[in-house]
Structure formats: C-alpha cells, structure tokens
Structure 1
Amino acid sequence: MKIKIIVPGKLSKHLKSAVDFYIKRLKRFAKLEIIYTKLGGDLNVMDSKTILNKEAQNILNAIGKADFILLDLHGEKVTSEQFARMIETDRLKGNMTFVIGGPLGVSELLRDQAKRRISLSDLTFTHELALLILLEQIFRGFKIIMNEKYHY
C-alpha cells in the first residue's frame, strides 16, 4: 500500500525526530510519501482567502487526480478503530492520500473536493503537529488491523 501525505510548508527541526520515528515504523506496513508544498503567501502582504486558495492549488497540483482525505477541524470525528477500518478499506485499493491544511487552515475548494473530511480533535493543532498525530494514528491503525499490541 502507498500512503501519500500532503502538507503545506516544511517541518521544524524540533519535530523531525518524532516524525522520523513513525516513518521508520510504518515502513513494514506501507510505502509512505510526505510531500511538502509551498505556503500560499505572507499575511502581511496578502489576504487570508488568497493565501488559502494558493495553498489549495499547490496541494491539488501535488495530488493530481487522486481521491483524498482532508484533515479538517470541522470534519467527521472518528475513533482509532474507525480510522483503522478506513485504512483497511483503502488498502485494498492500494493507495491512500491525506491532506493537511496550512497555518491558516483549508480553503473551501479543498473541502469541496475531498472524498472525506475527518477531524483529529476539537482542538486546533499546527499543521506540523497534525502531521505527527496523523502518522501516529496511521501506525496505530495498522497495529489494530494486524491485531498487534500497541505500547509506546
């Protein structure tokens, strides 16, 4: 299975080792590709809607024609077990793509085009922290699918 994650911006050094921790552990379950796209612009120069639309275009260019699951604060709330079932369903198709919004969130364009929208929490996270949480949940999902214990 191939899992692609699209994230605007880049990863801060202080989170790199944590992200690498999950990338390493996920290798036995799936081929993982994280694509960092360009941010939409500077709030001091542009309005937020323009920035969100530019980020959406950058994300859609990176996705191509693939269906994607959007991480969205206003998306569906799922448990880890439900998330694991999503992975298992898409594993049969061979590919799964996730999109994380940038510092300002996501545009309506992305919301409209998403195959599914899920929320990681009612809390708001930075896009970098959302990536780390998503990786952990993907790893947990595979452990659930394989009936393996999960203790870290």
Structure 2
Amino acid sequence: MQEDAAEGGDMSIDWNAFNPWSSLAGGILIGLAAALLILLNGRVAGVSGILGGLLPPKPGDAAWRVLFLLGMVLAPLVYAAFARLPVLHIEAGGGLLVAAGLLVGIGTRYGSGCTSGHGVCGVARLSPRSVVATLAFMLVGFLTVFLLRHAFP
C-alpha cells in the first residue's frame, strides 16, 4: 500500500505490485508451521509466549524456543537469496515505534497471548477466549488507524 496525496492521504493499493499468491503462500506456511509445532512439540506458536519462555530460560526448554525465533529472523534472509524483498515505508519515528512496541508487549501480557497465539492458533482451535482477544486486537487496530488518520491527522 502507498499513500496517495491526490486522494487526501487515503491509502490505496498499488495494483501493479499486488500479488495475492505470495500472501496465500505466506498464510499457508504460517499455518503449517503452527500446526507442526503443536503436533510435534505440543506447543502453541504464540511468539510472545515463545520469547517470554526464554526470560528466564528453563533447562531443556530453551533450544526449541531459540530455534523458532531464529527461524523467524533467518526466513526473510533466505527469501532474499531467491527473490527481492518488498520495500517498506513506515511513516513513524523511532520513538513512536518503541512506544508502540512497548504497548503491544504490555497488551500481550494482559491478554495472555499475542496475535499469533490467539489469532492463528487459538481461533483455529475455536477457543472462545482467543476469538474475543482477536476481535479486540482487530477493533482496537481499526480504531487506532481511524483516529490517527481522521481525528488527529
């Protein structure tokens, strides 16, 4: 997506660069990874819980967590060896990004999980708590974007 000044700052899709197949493939890979983790390891692929389990690490429990997180970091590098990574344009300063990250971190602790744990794994397991948490994530996200774009531009 890109910002189009001619439309008064509204978001628009660059249809020449839009590729639903890569999005579908990414979704399938995320779902496959989450399914394999729960089937082979009995663990939910909630990234905040995986990272939080390393602070402090428990004996015999850290290796799979480190490997999972390492895979998340290395995956884009492997992808970049075969294809060009998309160019990201973030319209926020470093301070705002740090504040947003801290708020997300606090929210994951209060919500007992993050978007990956609740939104991918919990909803797939038809967990009522995860459905409510995912709806809350989405509604707050929509409201935040609306307010920042329209009420406080």
**TM-score by shorter chain over 0.5:** no
- Which has more helix, going by share of residues? 2
Structure 1 length-normalised TM: 0.32
- Which has more strand, going by share of residues? 1
Structure of higher RCO (CA pairs closer than 8 Å, 6+ residues apart): 1
